[in-house]
Structure 1
C-alpha cells in the first residue's frame, strides 16, 4: 500500500478555500477582517472569477466568512484560541472498573423530546433518506427471492467491490476478496476481538476511548490497558512501546482518524511508526476508521492500513456515521486472520443482512455517496465552529476544548472541581443530554470532562442547550 497524496486531484477553488481557512484557523485573519477581494484573489492565483467565487461560497457554507453587499467578504467567526484538553495520563496498572451504570443512565435517558448532544450519530436531517429509500426499494425487487435468502458469509460481492474501490481514497489497494461485511463497525470489531483473543488476555487502547469498546472487553473477560493519548495527535507511541516491553499485549485497538471521544488524528509519520512497532512485536491492530470520510481538509487522511505490508492491521469501518446508522452495514479487512474471522462470523451471525447491503452497494455504485459526503462534511465543519463558539461563550472561564479536523465529537475539559456525572443529572432534568467523561475509561479519571456531539444541525435550540450545560457548570463550579 502507499500514500495517495500525489494522486489526489485538488481543484483550484479548493486550494484557495483551504489557504484562506488555514489563515482564519491560525489567527492570521480574525473576526471582522476583510479578506482579499475577488479581483485580487483572481490575480494572486491566476484563476477565473467563477473559481474564486466558488471558493468563497465554500467558505460561506462553513460559516467562516460572510458577504457584505457593496463592501466585500469578511471573516465571520471569532475563533479565539482556547486551551486544549490535557494529554491523558492513565495509570500504568490494569484497571477494569465497571462503568456500565453511567453508560446505561445516559442511554436510558434517550428521548425524542430531549436535546441529545450525547449521541454519536449524525442527525437524520443530514442523511439522504429519500435516496436511500429508493435504493432499498430497488434492492427489494432486484434480489432473488426479494432478498429473503442468506447472503454469502463474506458478504454482498457488489458491496465489497464498492468498498474496495473507495479504499483508493486512503491509499488502499484492496480487492473484494480482502473484505468481509459485518453488522456495523461494532460487529467488525467484535468478530475481530473474538477471533484473536481469549479470556484473560490484555488489549491496549487509547485513553479516553469509546465506551462500547470497554463494555465489549469486559463482557469477553479481557484486561484493558489504557495508554496516554494527546487530543490532537492520538496515542503516545513511547508509552505504547514501553507497554509492549512490559506487558503481554494480545492486540491493540485504536482510532487513527478523528478519534472518539477526543477527536485526535495521528500524523502520517505517527501511523507509519505505529505499523513498524506492530510488525516488530508481531501484534495485530484492530483499526477503527469509521470517521475517516468526515474530514474537514482538502483530502481524506490515510490510515494505518495504508502502510500495512504484513497483514497485521485489521481495518474496521461502516456507513453508520455517514449514511444510515440503523442499516448496520459495516466491514473489516481480516488480513492474515481471514480464516479465523470467517469462522467467527459464520458461528455468530452466519451472514450479514441481505437487503441493506444491496441498498448501500447500489447507493455507492451510482456515485451518490461522494456527493452526500461533501455536503455532510461542510455541514459538520460549520457545526463544529458554531458548537465550539457556544462552549467558549457559555461555559466557565478556563474551559478547554478539543480542535478536531473531522468527525463530529468535541471533548471538553472543565475545572477539576466540576463533576460531569453530577452535571448530567442536572441537565437531563432540563431535557438536555451529553456524555460524561467517566463513560470513556475504566479508571477513576475524566470526571471533569464531557463529550458533545455536533451531529445535530445548528439551531437556536442547540445553542440554548449548550448554554444550559454551561450555566449549570458555572453554578457547580461556584458551589
Structure 2
C-alpha cells in the first residue's frame, strides 16, 4: 500500500490521512466486501507510524461502517455496504412573521424525561454513560472544601473568574479571541439565549430563526410574546443566507435579532462553512441586526477539527455567542456562558435581575475539570462513540422505516432528523409510540407554523444493539401510518 499526499490531506491528523487512504482503496474496489485489510502491525510498518495511530485510523473506519473487527482474525471490509437514506429536503422561506404556540406538545415531551419506563429518544439529553460523573463529583467535593466560603457565596455576574479564563483559552481554537472579562456565566445555554432575547426585543418584535429550530427556543419566544420569521436550514450547510437576505430585504426594520445554531444545529445537524459564517456576520451588520449564536454542540465534532464560530468574524460586538457544558459534561450542573459583545452591560444587568447568580459549586468543579480533568481526552472519547452511534442508528432507520424515508448524516452532535413519507403524521406516530413505551420528538414541535408534520427528531446518543428493536417498532408504526 503506497502513501499518497496532497495539500488538503496533509492538513488532517495522521490517523485521518491513513483512514482516508484505506477508505479510498475500498471505494475503488481494491478491497472488496469481505476482504481482509492489512493488520495493524502491517499498516504500522508500511506507513512508518505507531500502532496507536493505526488503531485510531481503524477505529474511525469502524465508526464509518467501512471495516469490522473479527475476533482472533483481524479487520475486514464490511460485507454489507448499504446506500444511506437521502437527507431531508429544505423548505422555502416564510413570507410573514408567525406567532408561536407549541406549549401542549412541549410539555408532554419534556415530562417524558421523568418517566424511566420510556425509551428516551425524544429529548436531546447526553448519554450519562459517556459523562465523567464520578470525576466531576469528586472535583465538586474537593473544590467546595478548597474554596469553603466562595462555594456558598453569590458568584455575581460575570461569574467565576477561573472558569471564564478557561473558557477564553478554549475559544482560541474556534478562531475567537476573548478576554475573561468579556464572558458572563449563565445557568445553561438556554438562559444565555433568553437573556439575549430580553435585552434585544420587546413583546411583538420579530426574530429571524433557522427552521427547523430547537423547540425550547420556540417556547421561550412564545412566553416572551415574540414573532418569528422561519429561515430554511439545510441538514448539510445550515441556514440559507440567500433566504435570510431575501427576508431581511422584505422586512426592513422589523427584525430585531437573528438566532442561529451555526455548528451541528439541532435538530437537522447542519454546519455553516467559514465563508457562510463570515457572510452571516457581515449581512446582519449591514442591516444593524444583532446575531445570537448558539454553539452548544460545537465541541462534539466527529473529527478532530473543531469548527469555528461566527463570533470569530465579529468586529463590531454585534454577535452574542452562547454555549454551555450541558452536552459534554453535566446537564444538571446548569453551567453555561455568553460572550455578549457590545451588549455586555445590559446582559450582566439582566442576569442579576433574573436570578442574581449561577450556583458557585458547579462553576468551581467545571473550572477545575477544564484545567486538570482531561477535557480534551474526554471529548475525543465521546466524539468517537457518538459518531458510531449516529451511524448505526441511521443504518437501522434505513432498514426499518418506510421506503422514501430520509435521514440526516450530521458531522457532530448526537441527534438525527428524519423526513418520512407524507402520509406519516408524526403527531399520530408520537401517540402510538408513546403507547409502546417510546418517546420521540414530532416535527411540528420544531416550527412555529406547524411545519414538518412528517418529520421526527431522534436522540442517537443512547443507541445500542438492544435499542434496535425500539427502532424496528417505530419503523413498523410508521409503515402502518402509510396504509
TM-score band w.r.t. shorter chain: over 0.9
Conserved 8 A contact 1:84-1:403: yes
Distance 1:127 1:9 in 2: 30
Distance 1:27 1:385 in 2: 22
Task: Quote how far apart the aligned CAs of 1:119 are.
Answer: 1.2
Pick closer, same or farther for the CA change 1:280–1:172 going to 2, 3 Å. Answer: same
Conserved 8 A contact 1:170-1:300: yes
Q: 2:449 aligns with which of 443, 455, 461?
A: 443
1:349 aligns with 2:349: no
TM-score (normalised: structure 2): 0.92
Aligned to 1:471: 476
Conserved 8 A contact 2:93-2:243: no
Distance 1:129 1:30 in 2: 42
Q: 297-306 or 93-102: which moved more?
A: 93-102
Specify every segment of 5 or more residues in structure 2 that has no aligned partner in the other structure, as ranges.
Answer: 1-6
User: Secondary structure of 1:88's match?
Assistant: coil
Pick closer, same or farther for the CA change 1:31–1:420 going to 2, 3 Å. Answer: farther
In the TM superposition, 1:135-174 aligns within 5 A as 135-145=139-149, 147-174=151-178
Conserved 8 A contact 1:203-1:252: yes
TM-score (normalised: structure 1): 0.92
Q: CA RMSD in A?
A: 2.5
Pick closer, same or farther for the CA change 1:70–1:371 going to 2, 3 Å. Answer: closer
In the TM superposition, 1:283-362 aligns within 5 A as 283-362=289-368
Q: 1:241 aligns with which of 240, 245, 257?
A: 245
Specify every segment of 5 or more residues in structure 1 that has no aligned partner in the other structure, as ranges.
Answer: none
Q: 1:210 aligns with which of 214, 226, 233?
A: 214
Conserved 8 A contact 1:34-1:75: yes
Q: 1:88 aligns with which of 88, 91, 94?
A: 91
Distance 1:104 1:42 in 2: 54
Aligned to 2:77: 75
Q: 1:101 aligns with which of 78, 100, 104?
A: 104
Distance 1:19 1:351 in 2: 51
User: Secondary structure of 2:149's match?
Assistant: helix
Task: Quote how far apart the aligned CAs of 1:459 are.
Answer: 3.2
Aligned pairs, number: 472
Pick closer, same or farther for the CA change 1:409–1:57 going to 2, 3 Å. Answer: closer
User: Secondary structure of 2:462's match?
Assistant: coil
Pick closer, same or farther for the CA change 1:360–1:50 going to 2, 3 Å. Answer: closer
Deviations 1:69-99 (A, max 9, x none): 6764223363413211011225312222411
Aligned to 2:58: 56
In the TM superposition, 1:175-186 aligns within 5 A as 175-186=179-190
Aligned to 2:369: 363
Aligned to 2:270: 264
Q: 275-284 or 26-35: which moved more?
A: 26-35
Conserved 8 A contact 2:320-2:340: yes
Distance 1:393 1:471 in 2: 11
Pick closer, same or farther for the CA change 1:355–1:214 going to 2, 3 Å. Answer: same
Distance 2:427 2:478 in 1: 11
